[in-house]
Amino acid sequence: MNNKKTSLFVLAMILLVLSSCAPVKNVAYFQKLDASTDSLKMKKSAPGLYDVRIKPKDMLSITVVTSEPATSRMYNLVVPSLFDPVSPNSYSAIISQPSLQSYLVDNEGFIDFPLLGIISVLGLTPKELEATLQMKMASSFSKERPVITIRITNFAVNVLGEVARPGKFNTVNERMTIFEGLALAGDMTIYGRRDNVKVLRENTDGSKKYITVNLNDENIINSPAYYLEQNDVVYVEPNSSKSRSSSFGAAESFAISALSILISMISLAFNVLK
> What confidence score (pLDDT) does residue 96 get?
43
Averaged pLDDT of the chain: 79
Which one has a higher pLDDT value, 27 or 7? 27
pLDDT at residue 266 is higher than 80: no
Confidence of residue 110 (pLDDT cuts 50, 70, 90): very high
Name residue 233's beta-bridge partners.
Answer: 158, 200
Report whether 122 contacts 204 (CB < 8 A).
Answer: yes
Q: What is the CATH number of domain 25-50+155-238?
A: 3.10.560.10
Confidence of residue 68 (pLDDT cuts 50, 70, 90): confident
Closest by CA to 47, choosing from 229, 233, 219, 232, is 219
Q: What is the pLDDT of residues 138-152, one digit of tens each?
A: 887 767 788 999 999
Burial code (b: 16+ CB inside 10 Å, e: under 16) for 32-64 equals eeeeeeeeeeeeeeeeeeeebbbbbebebbbeb
Task: Give the mean model confidence (pLDDT) for residues 226-237.
Answer: 96
Element (H, E) at 117: strand 117-120
Q: What is the pLDDT of residues 235-249, one digit of tens each?
A: 999 987 665 565 555
Task: Give the mean model confidence (pLDDT) for residues 180-184.
Answer: 96
In this prediction the pTM is 0.71
* Fold adopted by 59-152: wza like fold (3.30.1950)
